[in-house]
């Protein structure tokens, strides 16, 4: 089924012919802009899925606002006109839910874990999480105020390590940038970031990472300007097409 | 962030064309007895003031005042505040050392490509600071053009140090000083310099004895702008210098991170930064005015 669906999507995307859409049950009569607030770590895969979704629903124009989940939750609670919120952690979703801005129960659609990122070729010879206690290395992790920093603290505790780092980055992308530039010997980022960075970055696995699994919940918002399209987008992300693309980007299914 | 009264001072923004004693009092008096403000100026001035001041009012209203003293007592806050004041002041000194000569070249010399030079030195004004931080990496990082040589020769790496904070702040703030000082130099009467030259003063001597005193108020105004910009610097600093309490975490970085999970704390920290910068500028202004 998924294959057929994907094939139909592919055909409709290529052919530009709308007739294929009306047969697969998608409510393609929905239209207008659809605003999705999504965690920064979802950037690449959501843009890709957004293209597919728009090919499937030609009337809908998906607009993304990517950023740290905490910033997005704040913007939503301040009244930003968003239809869907995909958070990189449960707690920031709770911030939105508790303010009464989530429409129904959020669904966890993927999980993510940390991985050590080193510049290509791993010049400092990083082998595992224990290297983060080495004061001679230049190391970066996320700040304790942001989710990837909380996850980092959890894995350090699980590994029984007192980290000696040079910078507490404001978000995971900032940590990754410093790895890509070769300015740090290693950083703790999400496995999906390592995959997204391509050949500039090398990922190093470590067992304690499973102690800090990050769940990504998604929900439509109660003040959504386009709630039906929002619901359709959430269903699309939870569909097999969505799951397949997310797994390819390195996310784990919950 | 700057004290508007400081910049409002006619001598601060435009250098005196005829610096003779008594001019200050004359200027003061004419400003005070100034006639009615035309409506066409008054209305936009009021709305403009609202645009600038209302966000601050919002901060003040939402501030958890009861927390203020508790927060101030936290060692991390004092540490970040101290680091901010030290690095912003150092960045201002560095900016004056390099920026005043640049401003002089732009205003007084007639070397070719001056307009290109002016455009180049003001690039940091339009460049997103985070991009500026990455650009600093590409030059001064341990894999950068100059930085790699430093690293391989001396084993010294600039990023993630307090020096990197000063460099990032200088990069972003120096254009403000250059533009102010260049404006002051252009407004100053060059005939004083010509006179000094005809009386036998050399170029350096003329600059030091005549030009500098002539544009001192313009330099002071530029330095204040520069300091204020450096104090609020965030993007280039967190990119190039990273964020670590005690060595590179300045107040804006602490504010941004507090905003991630404790917006109330972020408001308090912003107010602390605001209060300290306003107090510093007011104190400086007092000293500067009474001395002059």
Q: Which residue of B has its CA nearest to A146?
A: B260
Tokens linked to A138 = 């230049």
Tokens linked to A135 = 């004061």
Residue A171: pLDDT over 90: no
Matching CATH number, B8-291, of 1.10.3290.10, 1.10.3720.10, 1.10.240.10, 3.30.360.10: 1.10.3720.10
Q: How far is CA A63 from CA A33, A43, A106, B3, in A?
A: 7, 12, 20, 41
Is the Cβ of A167 closer than 8 Å to some Cβ of chain B?
Answer: yes
Judge: B257–A170 Cβ closer than 8 Å, yes or no: yes
Secondary structure element (H or E) that encloses residue A139, with its range: strand A139-142
CATH homologous superfamily, domain A114-211: Periplasmic binding protein-like II (3.40.190.10)
Report which of residues A84 and B192 the model is more confident about: A84
Nearest to B260 among A68, A138, A182 (CB): A68
Q: How many CA atoms lie less than 13 Å away from B178 in the CB half-sphere?
A: 24
ipTM above 0.85, yes or no: no
Contacts of A80 by beta carbon, 8 Å cutoff, 6+ apart: A37, A65
Q: What pLDDT does residue B65 have?
A: 80
Domains A2-111+215-248 and A114-211 share a fold: yes
Give the best residue of B79, B141, B242 to mutate against chain A (max A CB count within 10 A). Answer: B242
Residue B128: pLDDT over 80: yes
| Fold held by A2-111+215-248 | D-Maltodextrin-Binding Protein; domain 2 (3.40.190)
Could you give the dihedral angle defined by the CA atoms of residues B242, B155, B85 and B49, in that order, rounded to the nearest 10 degrees?
A: -50
Is the Cβ of A5 closer than 8 Å to some Cβ of chain B?
Answer: no
Q: How far is CA A157 from CA A134, A149, B2, in A?
A: 16, 12, 45
Residue B63: pLDDT over 90: no
CB pairs under 8 A between A and B: 67
Judge: A177–B143 Cβ closer than 8 Å, yes or no: no
DSSP β-bridge partners for residue A217: A108
Residue B32: pLDDT over 80: no
Residue B19: pLDDT over 90: no
Q: What are phi and psi of A91, to 5 degrees?
A: -65, -40
- A48-107: per-residue pLDDT in tens? 999 999 999 999 999 999 988 888 999 999 999 999 999 988 989 999 999 999 999 999
Q: What are phi and psi of B189, to 5 degrees?
A: -80, 115
Q: How far is CA A18 from CA A4, A226, A230, B73, B151, in A?
A: 17, 21, 21, 65, 59
Q: What are phi and psi of A204, to 5 degrees?
A: -125, 120
Query: Chain-wide mean pLDDT for chain B?
Result: 85
Q: Which residues of chain A does B256 touch, with a Cβ-Cβ cutoff of 8 Å?
A: 170
Nearest to B231 by CA among B266, B276, B264: B276
Q: Which residues of chain A does B142 touch, with a Cβ-Cβ cutoff of 8 Å?
A: 138, 182-183
Average pLDDT over residues A157-169: 95
* Domain spans, chain A: 2-111+215-248, 114-211
Distance from CA of A132 to the nearest CA of B (A): 15
Q: What pLDDT does residue B168 have?
A: 97
* Residue whose pair of structure tokens reads 């980055």 in the numeric block: A169
Q: What pLDDT does residue B159 have?
A: 94
Residue A18: pLDDT over 80: no
Q: Which residues of chain A does B249 touch, with a Cβ-Cβ cutoff of 8 Å?
A: 168
Tokens linked to A28 = 């393609």
Instruction: Label residue A14 by pLDDT band (50, 70, 90).
Output: very low
Q: What pLDDT does residue A40 have?
A: 84
- B132-184: per-residue pLDDT in tens? 999 999 999 999 999 999 999 998 899 999 999 999 999 999 999 999 999 99
Judge: A167–B263 Cβ closer than 8 Å, yes or no: no
Q: How far is CA A102 from CA B61, B140, B142, B174, in A?
A: 28, 46, 46, 46
Q: How far apart are CA B181 and CA B125, in angstroms?
A: 16
Judge: A168–B242 Cβ closer than 8 Å, yes or no: yes
Nearest to B226 by CA among B56, B5, B7, B14: B7
Q: How far is CA A238 from CA A2, A49, A66, B226, in A?
A: 12, 11, 19, 51
Judge: A169–B242 Cβ closer than 8 Å, yes or no: yes
Q: What pLDDT does residue A8 have?
A: 44
Instruction: Label residue B31 by pLDDT band (50, 70, 90).
Output: low
Judge: A183–B142 Cβ closer than 8 Å, yes or no: yes
Residue B253: pLDDT over 60: yes
Give the best residue of A99, A175, A181, A186 to mutate against chain B (max B CB count within 10 A). Answer: A181
């Amino acid at each position: 089924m998924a294959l057929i669906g994907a094939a139909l999507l592919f055909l409709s995307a290529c052919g530009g012919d709308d007739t294929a859409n009306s047969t697969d049950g998608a409510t393609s009569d929905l239209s207008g802009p659809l605003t999705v607030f999504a965690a920064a770590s979802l950037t690449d895969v959501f843009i890709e899925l957004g293209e597919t979704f728009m090919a499937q629903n030609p009337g809908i124009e998906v607009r993304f606002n990517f950023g740290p989940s905490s910033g997005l939750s704040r913007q939503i609670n301040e009244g930003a006109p968003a239809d869907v919120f995909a958070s990189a952690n449960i707690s920031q979703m709770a911030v939105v839910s508790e303010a009464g801005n989530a429409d129904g129960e959020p669904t966890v659609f993927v999980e993510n874990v940390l991985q050590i990122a080193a510049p290509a070729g791993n010049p400092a010879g990083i082998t595992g999480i224990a290297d983060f206690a080495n004061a001679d290395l230049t190391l970066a992790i996320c700040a304790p105020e942001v989710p990837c920093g909380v996850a980092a603290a959890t894995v350090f505790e699980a590994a029984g390590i007192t980290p000696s780092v040079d910078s507490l980055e404001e978000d995971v992308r900032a940590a990754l940038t410093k790895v890509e530039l070769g300015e740090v010997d290693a950083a703790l980022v999400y496995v999906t970031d390592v995959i997204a960075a391509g050949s500039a970055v090398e990922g190093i696995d470590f067992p304690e990472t499973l102690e800090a699994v990050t769940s990504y919940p998604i929900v439509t918002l109660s003040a959504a300007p386009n709630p039906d399209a929002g619901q359709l987008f959430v269903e699309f992300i939870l569909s097999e097409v969505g799951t397949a693309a997310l797994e390819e980007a390195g996310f784990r299914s919950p | 962030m700057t004290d508007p009264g400081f910049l409002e001072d006619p001598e601060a923004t435009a250098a005196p064309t005829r610096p003779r004693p008594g001019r200050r009092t004359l200027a003061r008096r004419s400003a005070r007895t100034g006639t009615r403000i035309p409506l066409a100026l008054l209305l936009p001035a009021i709305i403009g003031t609202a645009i600038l001041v209302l966000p601050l009012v919002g901060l003040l209203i939402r501030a958890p005042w009861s927390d203020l003293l508790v927060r101030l007592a936290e060692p991390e806050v004092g540490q970040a505040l101290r680091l901010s004041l030290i690095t912003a002041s150092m960045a201002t000194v560095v900016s004056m050392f390099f920026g005043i000569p640049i401003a002089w070249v732009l205003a007084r010399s007639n070397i070719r490509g001056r307009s290109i030079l002016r455009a180049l030195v003001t690039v940091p004004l339009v460049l997103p600071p985070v991009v500026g931080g990455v650009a600093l990496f590409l030059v001064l990082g341990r894999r950068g053009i100059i930085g790699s040589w430093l690293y391989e020769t001396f084993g010294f790496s600039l990023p993630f140090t307090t020096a990197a904070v000063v460099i990032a702040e200088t990069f972003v703030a120096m254009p403000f000083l250059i533009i102010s000082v260049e404006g002051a130099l252009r407004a100053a009467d060059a005939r004083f310099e010509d006179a000094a030259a005809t009386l036998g003063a050399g170029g350096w001597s003329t600059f030091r004895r005549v030009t500098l005193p002539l544009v001192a108020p313009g330099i002071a105004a530029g330095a204040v702008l520069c300091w204020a910009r450096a104090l609020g610097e965030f993007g280039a600093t967190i990119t190039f210098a990273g964020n670590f309490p005690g060595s590179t975490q300045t107040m804006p970085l602490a504010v941004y991170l507090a905003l991630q999970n404790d917006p109330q704390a972020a408001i308090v920290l912003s107010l602390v930064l605001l209060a300290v910068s306003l107090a510093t500028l007011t104190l400086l202004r007092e000293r500067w005015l009474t001395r002059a």
